[in-house]
Structure 1
Amino acid sequence: MRALALCLAVLAGPALSQDRQGNDTPGDWRVTHHSVFGIWNSMCDMREEAGTPVRRCYLRRVDVFSPRPEFAAQFLFVTPEREGYRVSFGIEPGTFFALDGFRIEGTEGTDWQTRRPGCLSGLSCNFTGPAAEALLEAMREGGAFRFTFRDRHGQPQDLTWPLDDFAAAWADFQGQAAQRGLLP
């Protein structure tokens, strides 16, 4: 009986990934490029919307720093905008950073840091325009992101994201986005 239930679940899986009209779900992006540079992923994907192909490229870092049952993660995305770039950090609500806990450290100390309330409190943490350009420049220069905080479970965390490979990831992202006409 269990084997029959398992077989039915496996066979029903593809049908359940479509809506009632048989359309693909929002997760139907098809990866067209993926290169890994250390901890950094340069990615492009596409999907059809109303019969028109929609393309996007981005740089990504996802850090699952606490597994189940007290899952916790943090991520960063860099995406091209109409003018410049957007750098978005995904921080879980209930996360609280130290005042100097959101920074880039170089060989001679802190090269960049933010004290934006949204970034330090696990709310919205996005950079655009000149703020994004300054952050991206610091990232391309190397060093390491340092994050010191209490996660949503109250556990102290001290994360390091090396930036050694970021310049190569950035160059790949720029090349791929340019090929697709996605750069500002």
Structure 2
Amino acid sequence: RAGESVSIAAYPVAQPERIDAAAMAEVARLRQYVDACRNLRGEMNVSPSTRLPLYALAGNAGEAAFLTQWAPVLQALSKLSEVKVFATEAEWVAAAQAAPVAVVGEARLCLHMEVDVAAEKARLGKEATRLEGEIAKARAKLSNEAFVAKAPPAVIEQENKRVADFTATLAKIRDQLARLK
């Protein structure tokens, strides 16, 4: 065998000049799409093994080209049966129907699945009630003068963040409920 053994060879040196910032940005953008698809799966309580079609409405030609180019990778990483990019909003809305929607950049995505509308309304209603309770609990803490006086600023900030997060999630759920009606 020729060459040094790995055990005594010099440790490789990083080559920052070979880092491709454009490639890193493109992969980060792809990851946003994968994360959005996975979040939609979680919201819909879909088994990870179930393959669903992704319906996308690109905000511009660049988004459409990106989605088309990366469709096979997106399919593999998000367990999708297909990635369909729609040209017009009317076509996308007709296909998407009552499915949950995620927004990534200028694109809107939804996983298409036949949904039992009554069961989904009940589930979303229950979740909305739970979130309203959490918001009320957090606001009650924040309106309690004794709590605010004794609590460290970090705890108060955390409670404010919880209220903001719960409110944002509740808005999404109410939007979903409106789409189902």
Category of TM-score, reference length = shorter chain: under 0.3
* Higher normalized helix content (fraction of residues): 2
* Higher normalized strand content (fraction of residues): 1
Query: What is the TM-score of this pair, normalised by structure 1?
Result: 0.25
Structure of greater Rg: 2
